[in-house]
């Protein structure tokens, strides 16, 4: 997952619900009582204030319990304006970065989305609020397993987690209406571009030290590319024998 961008160039209910007996809501033992207030403040001061306007995206960030996707020692800082460590040299992204990238996908409720780099699972949980189906690939098995567990706990039943190298995507499940890459390759992987549906959008950071966020869109005339703004992401990692993703145990069936 990405680190905080070096500068901003602002672009122009998944709820944490645990059903108790009788349908009542039970409190999350790890969440503070005021997490919704903190999430709302995060949206107003960090995301909306920097130019993210899509009401569905803003609602998702108010409804997804971000603190559930960070290690316990960082939960008090879950809604701060910056990334946080999640182990294995990875981070949960800065809220604005996640929101900006999500808005660029222009998701519709019936869309199928591929995410490369599950990390904590937070981005997938946001996508799950906006699309019909989310497929996400994580190369680090421990992170994939933890994300799968957390996503199930918060009720993101339309997310399917794969463990493996995301460079090749999921050709057997293609095409996708949107593809989101959360680590920086030197160039956008061609297999991912090939798996983009007509009219679909792909958002990815590209570069080594000097990186830029790119938006690719498949049109009847070919694939167009737009440079959005400078960013700093962790490098895209490939995994040899893990090139072909495999589903983690207990993967949900397609609807």
* Domain-embedded: residue 255: no
* Domain-embedded: residue 220: yes
CA–CA separation, 233 and 80 (whole Å): 18
pLDDT beyond 50 at 18: no
Residue for token pair 């992170």: 143
**Cβ count within 10 A of residue 15:** 14
Q: Which helix (H) or strand (E) covers residue 135, if one does?
A: strand 133-138
* Domain-embedded: residue 252: no
Examine residue 15 and say whether the peptide bond preceding it is cis (omega within 30 degrees of 0): no
What does the block give as tokens for 37? 């207030």
- The whole-chain average pLDDT of the chain stands at 85
For 76-129, the pLDDT digits (tens) are 999 999 999 999 989 999 999 999 999 999 999 999 999 999 999 999 999 999
Angle, helices 95-105 vs 55-63, to 10°: value is 140
Within its chain, how far is the Cα of 235 from the centroid?
Answer: 16
Q: Give the total number of structural domains in the chain.
A: 1
DSSP 140-200: SHHHHHHHHHHHHHTT-TTEEEEES-GGG--GGG--EEEEEE-SB-SS--HHHHHTEEEEE
Examine residue 175 and say whether the peptide bond preceding it is cis (omega within 30 degrees of 0): yes
The whole-number average pLDDT for the span 42-51 is 98
This prediction's pTM: 0.82
CA–CA separation, 230 and 227 (whole Å): 9
List active site positions.
93
Residue 175 · residue 151 · CB < 8 Å: no
State the residue range of the domain holding 239: 2-247
| pLDDT at res. 209 | 83
Q: Bigger pLDDT: 245 or 213?
A: 213
pLDDT beyond 70 at 32: no
Put residue 23 in one of left, alpha, beta given phi > 0 → left and psi -120 to 50 → alpha: left
Which CATH number covers residue 7? Answer: 3.40.50.150
Lowest mean pLDDT among 10-24, 161-175, 179-193, 240-254: 10-24
**Cβ count within 10 A of residue 248:** 18
| pLDDT at res. 252 | 37
What does the block give as tokens for 63? 């409804």
pLDDT beyond 50 at 20: no
Map residue 99 onto helix, strand or coil. helix
């Amino acid at each position: 997952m990405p680190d905080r961008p070096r500068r901003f160039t602002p672009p122009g209910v998944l709820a944490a619900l645990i059903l108790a007996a009788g349908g009542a809501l039970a409190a999350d033992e790890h969440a503070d009582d005021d997490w919704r207030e903190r999430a709302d403040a995060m949206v107003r001061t960090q995301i909306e204030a920097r130019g993210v306007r899509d009401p569905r995206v803003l609602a998702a960030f108010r409804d997804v319990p971000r603190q559930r996707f960070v290690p316990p020692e960082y939960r008090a800082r879950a809604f701060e304006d910056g990334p946080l460590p999640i182990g294995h040299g990875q981070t949960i992204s800065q809220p604005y970065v996640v929101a900006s990238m999500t808005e660029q996908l222009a998701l519709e409720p019936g869309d199928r989305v591929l995410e490369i780099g599950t990390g904590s699972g937070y981005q997938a949980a946001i996508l799950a609020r906006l699309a019909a189906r989310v497929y996400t690939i994580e190369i680090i098995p421990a992170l994939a397993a933890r994300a799968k567990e957390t996503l199930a706990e918060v009720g993101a039943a339309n997310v399917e987690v794969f463990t493996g190298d995301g460079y090749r995507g999921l050709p057997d499940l293609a095409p996708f209406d949107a593809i989101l890459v959360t680590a920086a390759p030197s160039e956008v992987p061609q297999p991912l571009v090939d798996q983009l549906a007509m009219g679909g959008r792909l958002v990815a950071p590209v570069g080594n030290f000097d990186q830029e966020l790119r938006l690719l869109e498949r049109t009847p005339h070919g694939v167009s590319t737009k440079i959005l703004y400078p960013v700093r992401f962790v490098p895209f990692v490939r995994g040899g024998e893990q090139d072909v993703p495999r589903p983690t145990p207990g993967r949900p069936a397609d609807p």
